[in-house]
Amino acid sequence: MMVAPKALLLTPGAGSDRNQSTLMAVEAAVPKLTVERIDFPYRRAGRRAPDRAPILIECVRHEATALVERAKCKPAALLLGGRSMGGRMCSMAVAEGLPAAGLVLISYPLHPPGALKKLRTAHLPMITVPALFVHGTRDPFGTPEELTLATATIAGPVTHLWIEGGRHDLKGKDDVVAAAVATWIRGLGKVQRPPG
Contact 132, 102 (CB under 8 A): yes
pLDDT attached to residue 4: 87
Q: Tens digit of pLDDT for each residue in 3-31?
A: 789 999 999 999 999 999 999 999 999 99
- The pLDDT score that the predictor gives to residue 191 is 46
- The DSSP annotation for 149-169 comes to HHHTT-SS-EEEEEETT--TT
What is the distance between the terminal CA atoms of the chain, rounded to a whole angstrom?
10
Q: pLDDT tens digits for 94-137?
A: 999 999 999 999 999 999 998 988 999 999 999 999 999 999 99
pLDDT tens-digit map of 151-165 = 999 999 999 999 999
Angle, helix 21-29 to helix 174-188, in steps of 10 degrees:
40
User: pLDDT over 90 for what percent of the chain?
Assistant: 91
Among residues 81, 103, 11, 2, the alpha carbon closest in space to that of 50 is found at 11
Whether pLDDT at 195 is above 90:
no
Q: Which domains does the chain show, CATH number per domain?
A: 7-188 (3.40.50.1820)
* Better pLDDT: 194 or 137: 137
DSSP-assigned beta bridge partners for residue 133: 105, 160
Beta carbons of 25 and 174 less than 8 angstroms apart = yes
Output the CA torsion sign for 189, 191, 192, 196: negative
In the Cβ-directed half-sphere of 96, how many Cα atoms lie within 13 Å? 12
CB 65 within 8 Å of CB 93? no
Check whether 193 has a pLDDT greater than 50: no
For residue 37, is pLDDT > 60?
Answer: yes
CA–CA gap between residue 36 and residue 19 (Å, rounded): 11
| Residue 70: its H or E element | helix 53-71
Mean pLDDT of the chain: 94
Quickly state the pLDDT bin for 2 (edges 50, 70, 90).
low
pLDDT at 192 over 60: no
